């Protein structure tokens, strides 16, 4: 998945002739806090709701004000992970997309990024979740997959997080069954620390809600 595949088809860019109030109205409608300013495909920068409030005259055209704007962007062929990296690093609610001639092509919202991540992490598929806690040097993707598949269970998705100021990793594994007993016993036999496991729908919803809230906080949505 590359940037051009995630471009929004509904959120417009601002022009310098648009007023600050117009920008605030669009931000409220689309639930975002940034919008790109574009004139004739030239990306002039990204304006935030804070920038507009600081103008103190939202009824005037944006071009009437001397603004120092950030100019973050990704190009159409950049990978999804690079888009996420830019969004999280700068705490953006939208990411402008330019072509190889640096012409504006559209924008990606962080909410769309989250929806896509939810899809590729198999959140909507039936199955259980196992969370392992392990030291970084002990992490082996191939061994973890072998343990799961050795119990006739398939890995639907897996991701790794590293808590701040910690040498440990948290490995979250989504599998295609709710019967996790044999997989858990095998992990324990290989001295893996099984931090938690989830099989019920209620617990699953709570787990995803907690992870979603953490992601929202991380991406400042």
Residue at token pair 């705490």:
91
Q: At what angle do helices 110-120 and 201-219 cross, to 10 degrees?
A: 140
What is the spatial distance between Cα 158 and Cα 173, in angstroms, rounded to a whole number? 5
Domains delineated in the chain: 3-118 (3.10.580.10), 124-219 (3.30.70.260)
Cβ(132)–Cβ(192) below 8 Å: yes
- Between the alpha carbon of residue 66 and those of residues 16, 44, 47, 50, 186, the distances in Å are 11, 12, 12, 14, 64
Of the candidates 177, 197, 176, 198, which has an alpha carbon nearest to the alpha carbon of residue 187?
197
What is the spatial distance between Cα 133 and Cα 18, in angstroms, rounded to a whole number? 52
Residue 180 has a pLDDT of: 93
- Between the alpha carbon of residue 108 and those of residues 7, 15, 31, 85, 128, the distances in Å are 5, 18, 13, 13, 31
Cβ(46)–Cβ(87) below 8 Å: no
| pLDDT tens by residue, the chain, 221 residues | 899 999 999 999 999 999 999 999 999 999 999 999 999 999 999 999 999 998 888 899 998 988 888 999 999 999 988 998 898 888 899 999 999 999 999 999 988 887 787 676 666 678 888 999 999 888 999 999 999 999 999 999 888 887 667 778 989 899 999 899 999 999 999 999 999 888 865 555 555 555 555 555 545 44
Residue 221 has a pLDDT of: 45
Tokens of 20: 């600050």
Of the candidates 125, 116, 94, which has an alpha carbon nearest to the alpha carbon of residue 31?
94
This prediction has a pTM of 0.68
- Cα angle: 97, vertex 98, 99; to 5 degrees: 130
Residue at token pair 């330019």:
98
């Amino acid at each position: 998945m590359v940037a051009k595949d995630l471009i929004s088809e509904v959120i417009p860019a601002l022009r310098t002739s648009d007023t600050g109030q117009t920008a605030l109205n669009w931000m409220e409608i689309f639930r975002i806090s940034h919008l790109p300013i574009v004139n004739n495909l030239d990306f002039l920068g990204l304006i935030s709701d804070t920038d507009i409030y600081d103008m103190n005259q939202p009824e005037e055209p944006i071009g009437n004000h001397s603004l120092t704007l950030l100019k973050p962007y990704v190009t159409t062929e950049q990978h999804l992970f690079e888009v996420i990296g830019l969004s999280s690093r700068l705490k953006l609610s939208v990411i402008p997309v330019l072509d190889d001639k640096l012409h504006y092509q559209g924008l990606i919202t962080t909410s769309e990024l989250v929806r896509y991540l939810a899809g590729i992490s198999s959140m909507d598929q039936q199955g259980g979740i196992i969370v392992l806690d392990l030291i970084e040097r002990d992490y082996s993707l191939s061994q973890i997959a072998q343990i799961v598949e050795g119990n006739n269970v398939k890995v639907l998705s897996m991701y790794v997080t590293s808590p701040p100021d910690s040498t440990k990793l948290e490995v979250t594994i989504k599998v295609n069954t709710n019967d996790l007993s044999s997989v858990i016993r095998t992990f324990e036999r290989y001295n893996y620390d099984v931090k938690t496991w989830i099989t019920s729908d209620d617990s699953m919803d709570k787990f995803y809600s907690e992870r979603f809230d953490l992601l929202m906080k991380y991406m400042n949505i």
